Protein backbone atom coordinates (compact mmCIF):
# COMPACT_ATOMS: atom_id res chain seq x y z
CA UNK A 1 0.00 0.00 0.00
CA UNK A 2 2.77 2.40 0.95
CA UNK A 3 4.57 1.45 -2.25
CA UNK A 4 1.51 2.30 -4.28
CA UNK A 5 1.16 5.57 -2.49
CA UNK A 6 4.87 6.45 -2.91
CA UNK A 7 4.70 5.67 -6.63
CA UNK A 8 1.57 7.73 -7.15
CA UNK A 9 2.97 10.66 -5.19
CA UNK A 10 6.38 10.63 -6.81
CA UNK A 11 4.92 10.37 -10.30
CA UNK A 12 2.47 13.11 -9.44
CA UNK A 13 5.33 15.30 -8.20
CA UNK A 14 7.32 14.66 -11.39
CA UNK A 15 4.33 15.43 -13.56
CA UNK A 16 3.77 18.69 -11.70
CA UNK A 17 7.46 19.62 -11.92
CA UNK A 18 7.67 18.95 -15.66
CA UNK A 19 4.37 20.67 -16.21
CA UNK A 20 5.70 23.81 -14.55
CA UNK A 21 9.00 23.55 -16.49
CA UNK A 22 7.19 23.18 -19.80
CA UNK A 23 4.94 26.10 -19.01
CA UNK A 24 7.96 28.29 -18.26
CA UNK A 25 9.80 27.08 -21.38
CA UNK A 26 6.70 27.79 -23.44
CA UNK A 27 6.78 31.39 -22.27
CA UNK A 28 10.55 31.96 -22.37
CA UNK A 29 11.27 30.28 -25.73
CA UNK A 30 8.13 31.44 -27.46
CA UNK A 31 8.66 31.67 -31.24
CA UNK A 32 7.18 34.72 -32.91
CA UNK A 33 5.50 34.12 -36.21
CA UNK A 34 5.22 30.84 -38.07
CA UNK A 35 8.59 29.12 -38.65
CA UNK A 36 7.17 26.89 -41.37
CA UNK A 37 5.85 29.89 -43.29
CA UNK A 38 9.24 31.56 -42.96
CA UNK A 39 11.01 28.48 -44.27
CA UNK A 40 8.65 28.29 -47.23
CA UNK A 41 9.19 31.96 -47.92
CA UNK A 42 12.95 31.49 -48.21
CA UNK A 43 12.31 28.89 -50.94
CA UNK A 44 10.20 31.26 -53.03
CA UNK A 45 11.81 33.38 -55.77
CA UNK A 46 10.50 36.64 -54.23
CA UNK A 47 9.34 38.08 -57.52
CA UNK A 48 6.21 39.30 -55.66
CA UNK A 49 4.37 38.77 -58.95
CA UNK A 50 1.09 37.54 -57.54
CA UNK A 51 0.72 34.78 -60.13
CA UNK A 52 -0.08 32.39 -57.27
CA UNK A 53 -3.25 34.34 -56.49
CA UNK A 54 -1.85 35.99 -53.38
CA UNK A 55 -0.53 39.54 -53.16
CA UNK A 56 3.06 38.50 -52.59
CA UNK A 57 5.42 35.72 -51.68
CA UNK A 58 4.90 36.08 -47.93
CA UNK A 59 1.10 35.69 -47.96
CA UNK A 60 1.43 32.67 -50.25
CA UNK A 61 3.99 31.10 -47.90
CA UNK A 62 1.61 31.67 -44.98
CA UNK A 63 -1.28 30.12 -46.90
CA UNK A 64 0.76 27.04 -47.82
CA UNK A 65 1.87 26.64 -44.21
CA UNK A 66 -1.74 26.88 -43.06
CA UNK A 67 -2.79 24.30 -45.64
CA UNK A 68 -4.98 26.80 -47.50
CA UNK A 69 -2.97 26.79 -50.74
CA UNK A 70 -1.47 24.10 -52.95
CA UNK A 71 2.29 23.65 -53.26
CA UNK A 72 2.29 24.15 -57.04
CA UNK A 73 1.01 27.71 -57.33
CA UNK A 74 4.35 29.50 -57.67
CA UNK A 75 4.84 29.91 -61.43
CA UNK A 76 8.28 31.57 -61.60
CA UNK A 77 9.67 29.06 -59.09
CA UNK A 78 8.80 26.22 -61.41
CA UNK A 79 9.16 22.56 -60.66
CA UNK A 80 12.25 22.98 -58.50
CA UNK A 81 10.51 25.27 -55.97
CA UNK A 82 7.40 23.09 -56.00
CA UNK A 83 9.47 20.00 -55.13
CA UNK A 84 11.25 21.84 -52.34
CA UNK A 85 7.99 23.09 -50.81
CA UNK A 86 6.37 19.66 -51.12
CA UNK A 87 9.40 18.14 -49.44
CA UNK A 88 9.22 20.66 -46.61
CA UNK A 89 5.49 20.20 -46.10
CA UNK A 90 5.70 16.43 -46.44
CA UNK A 91 3.01 16.26 -49.12
CA UNK A 92 2.82 14.69 -52.56
CA UNK A 93 4.33 16.85 -55.33
CA UNK A 94 1.89 18.30 -57.87
CA UNK A 95 2.50 19.36 -61.44
CA UNK A 96 3.16 23.05 -62.02
CA UNK A 97 0.66 23.88 -64.75
CA UNK A 98 2.24 26.99 -66.21
CA UNK A 99 5.73 26.93 -67.64
CA UNK A 100 7.88 29.67 -66.13
CA UNK A 101 8.63 32.25 -68.81
CA UNK A 102 12.15 33.38 -69.62
CA UNK A 103 13.46 35.91 -67.09
CA UNK A 104 12.08 39.33 -68.00
CA UNK A 105 12.75 42.91 -67.04
CA UNK A 106 10.51 45.94 -67.41
CA UNK A 107 11.63 48.81 -69.62
CA UNK A 108 10.10 52.30 -69.58
CA UNK A 109 10.06 54.05 -72.97
CA UNK A 110 11.11 57.33 -71.48
CA UNK A 111 10.01 59.51 -74.42
CA UNK A 112 6.43 58.49 -73.81
CA UNK A 113 6.46 58.53 -70.00
CA UNK A 114 4.27 61.30 -68.56
CA UNK A 115 5.65 61.01 -65.03
CA UNK A 116 2.47 59.89 -63.30
CA UNK A 117 4.26 57.69 -60.68
CA UNK A 118 1.57 55.00 -60.94
CA UNK A 119 4.12 52.33 -61.90
CA UNK A 120 6.36 53.37 -59.01
CA UNK A 121 3.49 52.74 -56.63
CA UNK A 122 2.76 49.39 -58.28
CA UNK A 123 6.32 48.05 -58.12
CA UNK A 124 6.54 45.59 -55.23
CA UNK A 125 10.31 45.83 -54.87
CA UNK A 126 10.87 49.59 -55.38
CA UNK A 127 12.74 48.99 -58.63
CA UNK A 128 11.35 52.02 -60.50
CA UNK A 129 12.96 55.36 -60.00
CA UNK A 130 11.30 58.71 -60.69
CA UNK A 131 9.34 61.67 -59.40
CA UNK A 132 6.06 63.35 -60.41
CA UNK A 133 6.32 64.85 -63.90
CA UNK A 134 9.81 63.40 -64.36
CA UNK A 135 10.75 60.45 -66.55
CA UNK A 136 10.67 57.16 -64.71
CA UNK A 137 13.21 54.45 -65.25
CA UNK A 138 13.62 50.84 -64.18
CA UNK A 139 16.61 49.81 -62.10
CA UNK A 140 17.32 46.72 -64.16
CA UNK A 141 19.37 44.99 -61.47
CA UNK A 142 16.44 45.17 -59.07
CA UNK A 143 13.55 44.34 -61.42
CA UNK A 144 12.04 40.91 -60.75
CA UNK A 145 10.04 40.89 -63.98
CA UNK A 146 6.67 40.58 -62.20
CA UNK A 147 4.82 42.71 -64.84
CA UNK A 148 2.76 44.47 -62.14
CA UNK A 149 3.82 47.90 -63.46
CA UNK A 150 2.54 47.28 -66.99
CA UNK A 151 -1.17 47.41 -66.19
CA UNK A 152 -1.33 50.70 -64.22
CA UNK A 153 0.57 52.73 -66.87
CA UNK A 154 -2.00 55.10 -68.47
CA UNK A 155 0.04 55.59 -71.66
CA UNK A 156 1.28 51.98 -72.07
CA UNK A 157 4.92 52.95 -72.20
CA UNK A 158 6.28 49.95 -70.28
CA UNK A 159 7.58 46.95 -72.20
CA UNK A 160 8.56 43.60 -70.77
CA UNK A 161 11.86 42.59 -72.36
CA UNK A 162 13.65 39.28 -72.12
CA UNK A 163 16.52 39.72 -69.69
CA UNK A 164 19.76 39.85 -71.72
CA UNK A 165 22.13 36.98 -70.99
CA UNK A 166 25.40 38.18 -69.53
CA UNK A 167 28.71 36.57 -70.39
CA UNK A 168 29.53 36.23 -66.68
CA UNK A 169 26.23 34.46 -66.06
CA UNK A 170 26.58 32.00 -68.91
CA UNK A 171 26.84 28.40 -67.84
CA UNK A 172 27.57 25.15 -69.60
CA UNK A 173 24.55 23.27 -70.94
CA UNK A 174 23.92 19.61 -70.19
CA UNK A 175 26.18 17.45 -72.40
CA UNK A 176 24.40 16.57 -75.58
CA UNK A 177 24.43 12.79 -75.34
CA UNK A 178 21.71 10.17 -75.59
CA UNK A 179 22.17 9.21 -71.97
CA UNK A 180 21.74 12.68 -70.55
CA UNK A 181 18.58 13.13 -72.63
CA UNK A 182 17.40 9.73 -71.45
CA UNK A 183 17.95 10.79 -67.85
CA UNK A 184 15.77 13.85 -68.38
CA UNK A 185 12.98 11.78 -69.96
CA UNK A 186 13.17 9.09 -67.30
CA UNK A 187 12.98 11.63 -64.55
CA UNK A 188 9.68 12.84 -65.99
CA UNK A 189 8.29 9.32 -66.28
CA UNK A 190 9.18 8.17 -62.81
CA UNK A 191 8.18 11.28 -60.92
CA UNK A 192 5.24 10.45 -58.64
CA UNK A 193 3.00 13.20 -59.93
CA UNK A 194 2.74 11.84 -63.48
CA UNK A 195 2.50 8.14 -62.62
Partner 1 sequence: MLHTLLKSTAEKSGLFHGGIEPEMSKITANSSISTSMIAPVYIVPIKQHIGEPCTPIVSVGEHIFRGQKIAKSEGYVSVPVHAPTSGKVVKIEEHAIPHPSGMGLPSIFIEPDGKDTRDESLEPIENYRERDPAELRERVRFCGIAGLGGAVFPTFIKLLKDQRNPIETVILNGIECEPYLTSDHRLMVEKPENIARGIDIIMHMVGAKRAIIAIEDNKPDAADAMRNAISSIPDMEHVEVHLLPTRYPQGSEKQLVQVLTGKEIPAGKLPMHIGVLCQNVGTTHAIFDAVIRGRPLTERIVTVSGDAVPRPGNMRTRLGTPMSFVFAQHGLEHFEGLHILHGGPMMGERLKAADVPVVKSTNGLLAMKSETMMKSHKVEQPCIRCGHCGVACPVNLVPNLLADQCRSEQFEKAESYNLFDCIECGACSYVCPSNIPLVHYFRYGKGQLAQISRAKGFAEASKERSEARDARIEREKEERAAKRKKVRATHKPKPADEKPAEERADEGKPTDEKSDSKGSES
Residues that bind partner 1 (CB under 8 A): 41-42, 44-48, 56-58, 124-127, 142, 144, 165, 167, 169-175, 177-180, 183, 187
Give whichever of 8 and 180 is closer to partner 1, judged by the CB atom: 180
Least distance (Å) between residue 187 CB and partner 1: 7
Give whichever of 114 and 150 is closer to partner 1, judged by the CB atom: 150
Strands (E) in 54-189, as ranges, are: 104-108, 128-129, 137-138, 158-162
Least distance (Å) between residue 90 CB and partner 1: 19
Q: Report phi then psi at 161, rounded to 5.
A: -105, 155
- C-alpha–C-alpha distance, residues 65 and 138, integer Å: 34
Give whichever of 109 and 142 is closer to partner 1, judged by the CB atom: 142
Give whichever of 27 and 179 is closer to partner 1, judged by the CB atom: 179
Residues paired with 137 in a beta bridge: 129
Give whichever of 25 and 191 is closer to partner 1, judged by the CB atom: 191
- C-alpha–C-alpha distance, residues 79 and 97, integer Å: 10
Burial class of residue 75, CB neighbours in 10 A (0-12, 13-18, 19+): buried
Burial class of residue 143, CB neighbours in 10 A (0-12, 13-18, 19+): buried
Least distance (Å) between residue 15 CB and partner 1: 38
Q: Report phi then psi at 105, rounded to 5.
A: -135, 150
Least distance (Å) between residue 16 CB and partner 1: 37
- C-alpha–C-alpha distance, residues 106 and 172, integer Å: 27
Least distance (Å) between residue 191 CB and partner 1: 12
Amino acid sequence: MTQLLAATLSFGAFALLFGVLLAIAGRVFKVEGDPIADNIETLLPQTQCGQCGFVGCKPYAGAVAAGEAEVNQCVPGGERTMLQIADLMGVEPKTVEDEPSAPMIAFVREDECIGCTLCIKACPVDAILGAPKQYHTVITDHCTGCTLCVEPCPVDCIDMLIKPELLEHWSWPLPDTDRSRLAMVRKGQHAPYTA
